[in-house]
Amino acid sequence: MPSFLRRALLVSGLGFLTLSASAQTSKIDSVNIRKIYDEALLRGQSYDNLRQLTGQIGGRLSGSPQAQQAVDWGKVTMEKLGLDRVYLQEVMVPHWVRGAKEKAEIKPAKGKGVALNVCALGGSVGTGGKLRAGVVEVKTWAELAALPADRVKGKFVFFNRPMNAAYIETGRAYGEAGDQRRNGAVEAAKRGAVGALVRSLTLAHDDFPHTGAMRYDEAVAKLPAAALSTNGADELSQLLKADPDLTFELEMSCETLSEVKSYNVVGEIRGSRLPDEIITVGGHLDSWDLAQGAHDDGTGCVQSMEVLRLLKATGLRPERTVRAVLFMNEENGVRGGNKYAELAKAANEKHLAAMESDGGGFTPRGFTIEAPAATVKRLQQWQPLFAPYFSGRFTAGHAGTDIEPLKGQVKALIGYDCDSQRYFDIHHTAADTFDKVNRRELELGGASMAGLIYLLSKYGL
């Protein structure tokens, strides 16, 4: 029998998984997880909920009217599920606005200027009109440090280190290259530059600039910082080689306004046997403002709400309390994640585990786990139950930004892990729209999350 048909029989109920001797991987669990997948694939609501969130509201940057609309939408949507409790957690968030569309142009010593697609990095100051200066290109911090002062002072520093395409896990490449975006303006200011230009964090070669959070240091000047599309970065690099004395003109009107009151949205099903033990599952409700925030992180929000719906719809009432949290302000502050952890600690709540979906709504692969080795091994005993759905990869690794503040309060932090190969093509760009999400992939992900939370609720850690 072909392997694909054998797997199909196992999943369809015509055969059962060959389970370990562990009491935690029982035949009944296999049946119940199949019920969850059936409900998700036949009657799932994640995709339609995402259509509403992205189509009716769109981008939801913290502090914006759209972010408040998303809070209202999340609360109403969870109330319709008939949960035991739905409520808001107040949190103050930063309010940065992009302003008018950014403009940039390469000005060669001779010939016509070349317009480039750029976007301000999140949190950047504006340029106060048109800012024009020379450009110096670097790929590493060591290169910047080695440049004579007169080569940098009064110029734009152009950070042009690409993501490493050799890595199979694209998140690793993103993490390594991300220091340019986060710290480029600070390091450029230390050398007397007037601005920072950063190659977009993507392996794709296109004209979409990628925004994202950056930081300032009060000890040095706050410089305007912009991301160039990868095509634009390549073009600037080539023109610099031919004309090192060219100049770059940038115009951005972004600014930071006063903080705004916002909210985490929380819905929960109270545990039937151990209600005081809490399992959290969540995604972040805010998004960048360039598009609809579909994969980042509308998918994580609707999957987290779907976990609660799937448990109710299949009659698998959790034995421990399960909370879905739509966190506010992951993108530029993590205020929502910090507030959730702060309130949990103040209330002396007992948190068993926390799960986050913030890697897009692509095909599920499994889960990443931040926990002691013994706890990781315990969770890995459940891998056979997820193998028929191709989501049985349970590995140690980073779980999620919004749940990270819970470290020390929970036994395990768990990240939903899906295929990442296309994620950074659209991450933080104008291309992160609903049409990029596949219904079946999205619903499979919610089922994977619900299946693991079912097991955590039943057996604990």
Compute the distance between CA of residue 59 and CA of residue 227 in angstroms, rounded to an integer.
Answer: 19
Q: What is the pLDDT of residues 433-453, one digit of tens each?
A: 999 999 999 999 999 999 999
Q: Which of 354, 384, 330 is nearest to 449 (CA)?
A: 354
Give the model confidence (pLDDT) of 150-190 as tens digits.
999 999 999 999 999 999 999 999 999 999 999 999 999 99
The H or E element containing residue 97 is strand 85-97
Distances in Å between the alpha carbon of 25 and those of 277, 352, 415?
22, 20, 21
Q: Over 50: is that where the pLDDT of 457 sits?
A: yes
> Given a cut of 50, is residue 20 above it in pLDDT?
no
Taking CA atoms, 92 is separated from 63, 261, 288, 339, in Å, by 9, 5, 18, 9
Active-site choice (330, 356, 370, 443): 330
State pLDDT tens for residues 108-149.
Answer: 988 899 999 999 999 999 999 999 999 999 999 999 999 999
Query: Are 450 and 355 a contacting pair, CB within 8 Å?
Result: no
Contact 87, 234 (CB under 8 A): no
**Mean pLDDT (the chain, rounded):** 94
Q: What is the DSSP letter of 54?
A: I
User: What distance in Å separates the CA atoms of residue 138 and residue 115, rounded to the nearest whole number?
Assistant: 21
Distance set, CA 217 to CA 103, 149, 198, 437 (Å): 26, 20, 18, 38
Mean pLDDT of 227-249: 97
pLDDT tens profile 42-64: 999 999 999 999 999 999 999 99
Tokens of 189: 């200011």
Instruction: Specify the pLDDT at position 205.
Output: 97
Mean per-residue pLDDT, 77-102: 98
The 3-state DSSP class for residue 104 equals strand
Q: DSSP labels for 242-270?
A: H-TT-EEEEE---EEEEEEEEEEEEEEE-
Residue 387: how many other CB atoms lie within 10 Å: 16
249 is catalytic: no
Length of the chain as a residue count = 461
Kindly report which listed range (25-39, 155-169, 288-302) carries the lowest average pLDDT score: 25-39
Please give the pLDDT value at position 258: 98
260 pLDDT above the threshold of 50: yes
Report how far residue 30's alpha carbon sits from residue 344's, in angstroms, rounded to the nearest whole number: 33
Q: Please give the pLDDT value at position 401.
A: 98
- Helical axes 299-313 vs 439-459, angle rounded to 10°: 60
- Work out the average pLDDT over 234-260: 97
Confirm if 209 and 227 have CB atoms less than 8 A apart: yes
* Closest by Cα among 226, 67, 30, 253 to 135: 226
- Give the residue ranges of DSSP H helices in 114-200: 141-146, 149-152, 170-190
DSSP assignment letter at 218: T
For residues 452 and 171, give the distance between their C-alpha atoms in angstroms, rounded to a whole number.
23
Q: Are 222 and 28 in contact (CB under 8 A)?
A: no
**What 3-state DSSP class applies to 402?**
coil
pTM of this structure:
0.93
Cis peptide before 38 (omega within 30 of 0): no
Residue with tokens 């769109």: 58
What is the per-residue pLDDT for 25? 54
Read off the tokens for 441. 């992939």
CA 108 to chain centre: 38
Q: 253: exposed, middle or buried (C-beta count within 10 Å: 0-12, 13-18, 19+)?
A: middle
pLDDT of 281 reads: 98
Residues facing residue 397 across a β-bridge: none
> What does the block give as tokens for 84?
């035991």
- Residue 344: its pLDDT value, please? 98
Task: Return the CA Rg of the chain.
Answer: 24
pLDDT above 90 as % of the chain: 94
